[in-house]
Chains A and B, each alone.
Chain A
Amino acid sequence: MPLHTIVLVKQVPDTSNISGDVMRPDGTVNRARLPAIFNPEDQAALELALRLKDQYGGLVTALTMGPPNAVNMLRECLYMGADRVILVSDRRFAAADTLATSYALHKAIQHIGDYDLIFGGRQAIDGDTAQVGPQTAEKLGITQFTYTQEVLNLDLKQRTIRAKRAIKNGYEILESPLPVLLTVIKDAARPRPFDVRKLCTYKRAQSKFEIQSYVDESHDLITLDQVLEKARADGLYIETWNIEDIDADVSMCGLAGSPTKVHKVENVILSGSEFKQVPASTEGLNEMIGELMQDHIFG
């Protein structure tokens, strides 16, 4: 059996790029206006998986759960060298917390079948929880290496992996029998650029949603099945799975399957009652320092 690695990827709003019309007048963020990007640590995870493939052969499958437009990120996975990409998308997954997300991901992984390794970013930049990786591992009943910095060795005969992971003020090297789920930090690997030939081929790869909208525009001249069949035959179909496809229990998905609920959100009112504007002048700064010395803040 060749090595099979599954990489969990997520498309996220670019929270490092908040500007202009992204902020609403009331101070909240308009998520829809943020550019969607490939979660950086997931990209590092994909790179590590591709390096193992370069070294040991095998197949890399990229899996995401997200809205239909997450297909853009899956195409990028193909451009980088993923062999298979899968979009798990269904309105009934909406508002999932980490538990409902990991439930859906583990059902999708079970539907994929056998695997040796699972990689994912340590955390996604839109929530920073770092919970989905370990929760998915738990549901699959496998162990995990979190904060992975480097894969040191893969022994396909003994079926073991050795990797380096960050711990407080240092690192440790762990060895485990396969399979293992590894969550990867950003510094672990710099993602490779897109392969131009793959880009030319796979920019035409489409999800079921994209094919459906194309069919809808054709005014019934063609059927969904016809186009799907053609795309499959050309190797340009991006597998698109819903709740039924992965045999998931609806009550465990989305909002219904999420134990954590947002009770309320509040804008923060800044007090600033004792605020003093200090002019950037020698006198202004001297006065401020004098006050701080009097208050025994300095010294």
Chain B
Amino acid sequence: MIKVVNSNIKDMVWVFAEQADGALAEVGLELLHKARTLADKMGSEVSAVLLGHEVEALIDPLFSHGADNVYLLDDQELKDFRSIPYANLVTKLVEEKRPRVVLFGATHIGRDIAPRVASHTRSGLTADCTELKIETLTLRKVEHPDLLLQIRPAFGGNIIATIISPDVEIQMATIREGVMEMGVADLSRKGRVIQVPVKLDPIEIAVKIIEKHQAASTVNLKAAPIIVAGGYGADTPEKFQLIKDLAKVLGADVAGSRAAVDAGLIEAERQVGQTGTTVRPKLYIAIGISGAIQHRAGMQESQKIIAINNDPEAPIFGVAHYGITGDLEVVIPQLIAAYKSQLH
């Protein structure tokens, strides 16, 4: 049976506040807004867990985006991310305070440590959730309060699975960047900083970072007002070039489905969908994308969607506002010509 140890403290919803080189990852802030809604339903506070070195400047933004408490773990050894010190310290804190919900961004860092924390604490962990809810469910006549519904598209097909962890106390999930909407920062919000002492054994810091090369990101699909995306239907570099041509004419950003990324037609950081980025542009043009749920999850909240596909039955038409059935090699040049003529 579940023992909710800290139910009187009501500090039950946590977000791992990822940072690198003194900058917070946006996904952490997005998750704080979601955590706020979940916590309100539970009558709980929201806490952010911040690890790093000399990262005090990052605390206020965490409050502004919804944290009531910030657990601060500051140490020279935490300046750069390493699996063992980060995972072990978060594990220790989770074990001690026993929150009911812990959310991580599904980033290189979040996906590295969340499984270790979940493994050690025997918590449920669901990857790449696209929606989270808190509900009380009665299962086999037993009431389970404050269950985290971890909702994600499941294997193939048009299926959405709701995953729960009813028999354990701590429920964890990873969420891709952009899935949860970044709310407005409330600069007047303040909270409590809880300093957590950092003690690390030499063996925990035995991994050495020999070199680190990181370029500033040049891709920000989340901020793009217009996105032109190609998929499996644009399966040659020549066809994909047409997609890039259209994007250039429209002043749009280029993106791709997972199939396009797997085929090497476009970089992984331009992937839209459940395992890529979630976008909400003013206009999304999906070309040669059949529209599996994993892709739709990442773009269906776009203000307007144009779908171009030679298969009239493609599921992408189900979320589109405008559908054009036809061969992309014919339709794209027509569309470019029509756009240019309307500009004059």
CB contacts (< 8 Å) of B120 on chain A: these are 138
Task: Check if B188 is an interface residue, CB within 8 A of chain A.
Answer: no
- Return the contact of A172 from the options B209, B334, B341 (Cβ within 8 A): B209
A229 to B144, CA, bound (A): 52
Stretch at the interface among B6-14, B50-58, B125-133: B125-133
Task: Check if A98 is an interface residue, CB within 8 A of chain B.
Answer: yes
- Return the contact of A259 from the options B83, B111, B123, B322 (Cβ within 8 A): B123
Q: Report if A138-B115 is in contact (Cβ < 8 Å); known contacts: A16-B262, A275-B321, A289-B339.
A: yes
Q: How many residues of B contact A (CB 8 A)?
A: 85
CB of B302 to closest CB in A, whole Å: 10
Asked whether A29 lies within 8 Å of B323 as measured between CB atoms, the reply is no
Q: Chain B interface secondary structure, helix, strand, loop or mixed?
A: mixed
CB contacts (< 8 Å) of A197 on chain B: these are none
Stretch at the interface among B64-72, B92-100, B161-169, B236-244: B161-169
Query: Closest B-chain residue to A177, C-beta based?
Result: B206
Asked whether B335 lies within 8 Å of A260 as measured between CB atoms, the reply is no
Task: Check if B136 is an interface residue, CB within 8 A of chain A.
Answer: no
Task: Check if A72 is an interface residue, CB within 8 A of chain B.
Answer: no
CB contacts (< 8 Å) of B154 on chain A: these are 262, 265
Asked whether B321 lies within 8 Å of A274 as measured between CB atoms, the reply is yes
CB contacts (< 8 Å) of B112 on chain A: these are 134, 144, 146-147
A136 to B88, CA, bound (A): 15
A1-38 interface bits toward B, Cβ cutoff 8 Å, 1 = contact, 0 = none? 00000000000010110100011000111010000000
Stretch at the interface among A43-51, A81-89, A230-238, A280-288: A280-288
Asked whether B210 lies within 8 Å of A29 as measured between CB atoms, the reply is no
Query: Closest A-chain residue to B274, C-beta based?
Result: A128
Query: Closest A-chain residue to B250, C-beta based?
Result: A298
Q: Report if A263-B306 is in contact (Cβ < 8 Å); known contacts: A18-B156, A126-B155, A168-B107.
A: no
Query: Closest B-chain residue to A135, C-beta based?
Result: B119
B175-215 interface bits toward A, Cβ cutoff 8 Å, 1 = contact, 0 = none? 00000000000000000000000000000001111111111
- Return the contact of B318 from the options A174, A272, A285 (Cβ within 8 A): A272
Q: Report if A265-B160 is in contact (Cβ < 8 Å); known contacts: A99-B122, A131-B127, A280-B326.
A: yes
CB contacts (< 8 Å) of B164 on chain A: these are 260-261, 263
Task: Check if B275 is an interface residue, CB within 8 A of chain A.
Answer: yes
Interface size band for A: 35 or more
Asked whether A265 lies within 8 Å of B262 as measured between CB atoms, the reply is no
Asked whether A173 lies within 8 Å of B209 as measured between CB atoms, the reply is yes
CB contacts (< 8 Å) of B83 on chain A: these are 134, 143-146
CB of B256 to closest CB in A, whole Å: 15
CB contacts (< 8 Å) of A18 on chain B: these are 156
Asked whether B213 lies within 8 Å of A271 as measured between CB atoms, the reply is no
Asked whether B163 lies within 8 Å of A263 as measured between CB atoms, the reply is yes
A223 to B208, CA, bound (A): 55
- Return the contact of A264 from the options B162, B165, B211, B306 (Cβ within 8 A): B162
Task: Check if A196 is an interface residue, CB within 8 A of chain B.
Answer: no
A286 to B155, CA, bound (A): 39
Task: Check if B216 is an interface residue, CB within 8 A of chain A.
Answer: yes
A174 to B158, CA, bound (A): 41
CB of A254 to closest CB in B, whole Å: 14
Task: Check if A297 is an interface residue, CB within 8 A of chain B.
Answer: yes
A134 to B111, CA, bound (A): 9
Asked whether B323 lies within 8 Å of A278 as measured between CB atoms, the reply is yes
Asked whether A298 lies within 8 Å of B283 as measured between CB atoms, the reply is yes
Task: Check if A74 is an interface residue, CB within 8 A of chain B.
Answer: no
CB of B95 to closest CB in A, whole Å: 13
Task: Check if B138 is an interface residue, CB within 8 A of chain A.
Answer: no
CB contacts (< 8 Å) of B116 on chain A: these are 134-135, 137-138, 144
A297 to B224, CA, bound (A): 12
A158-175 interface bits toward B, Cβ cutoff 8 Å, 1 = contact, 0 = none? 000010001111111111
A124-156 interface bits toward B, Cβ cutoff 8 Å, 1 = contact, 0 = none? 001111111111011100011111000000000
Asked whether B160 lies within 8 Å of A176 as measured between CB atoms, the reply is no
Asked whether A290 lies within 8 Å of B342 as measured between CB atoms, the reply is yes
Q: Report if A169-B215 is in contact (Cβ < 8 Å); known contacts: A270-B318, A271-B318.
A: yes
Asked whether A128 lies within 8 Å of B127 as measured between CB atoms, the reply is yes
* With A29-B156, A146-B112 already in contact, 5 other A-B pairs whose C-beta atoms are closer than 8 Å: A27-B157, A128-B128, A146-B111, A260-B125, A278-B323
Binding site for B on A (CB under 8 A): 13, 15-16, 18, 22-23, 27-29, 31, 97-99, 102, 126-135, 137-139, 143-147, 162, 166-177, 259-268, 270-272, 274-282, 284-286, 288-290, 292-293, 295, 297-298
Binding site for A on B (CB under 8 A): 20, 82-84, 87, 107-108, 111-116, 118-120, 122-128, 137, 149-150, 154-168, 206-217, 226, 250, 259, 262, 269, 275, 282-283, 293, 303-304, 306, 315, 317-326, 330-331, 334-335, 337-339, 341-342
